[in-house]
Amino acid sequence: MRGHGANYAFVDASWAQEHREFQYNALDYLAACKQYLTPDDIPWLRRLAEAKSWWETIDRLDTIIGDIVLRHPELNSLMLEWAQDANFWIRPIATDHQRPRKERTDTQLLEEIIVKNFGSTEFFINKAIGWALREYSKTDPAWVADFIDRYRAQLAPLSIREGAKRL
């Protein structure tokens, strides 16, 4: 355990197990102690994402990482880097890290991240874009509708379909 953060040994041991339920337990644990995670934990969290790259793990790690980024906005530039990462599983983390923020969503950052992924043919990247837009449409449907209208030609049909579900 580093400082007063997460118990790395527990999470790493869970991550090493074959069955996904162990990773789900570790993710529940990380979510419960996320307020103690710091920017120093980001490289470790990224290694977890790269070690077990499943939609379910990425989907949980993005909001855990997003909580750190919210408390440390200097990490916004890292999310912009991750938006173009060579590992396509890292890109959805950048895209969806703000998903639960509602009115605290940085729409300029969200737009920049999505724009960096225009032209992607990767299903999970386009799904993440749609999911980020759909989630934010619950808070600001006008912004999402305008975004989709402005970028319709560049957005993948999947991103539009997912993003517009609640409009």
Catalogue all structural domains in the chain, each as residue range(s) with its CATH number: 8-163 (1.25.10.90)
Flag whether pLDDT at 49 surpasses 80. yes
CB-based contacts of 138: which residues, under 8 Å, 6+ apart?
Answer: 102, 166
Specify the pLDDT at position 1: 39
What is the Cα 57 distance to its own chain's centre?
A: 10
Q: pTM of the entire structure?
A: 0.92
Sign of CA pseudo-dihedral 88, 67, 29, 24: negative
The CA distance from 54 to 78, in Å, is 22
Specify the pLDDT at position 106: 98
The CA distance from 134 to 159, in Å, is 9
The CA distance from 49 to 4, in Å, is 22
Specify the pLDDT at position 4: 56
At 98-134, the pLDDT tens digits run 999 999 999 999 999 999 999 999 999 999 999 999 9
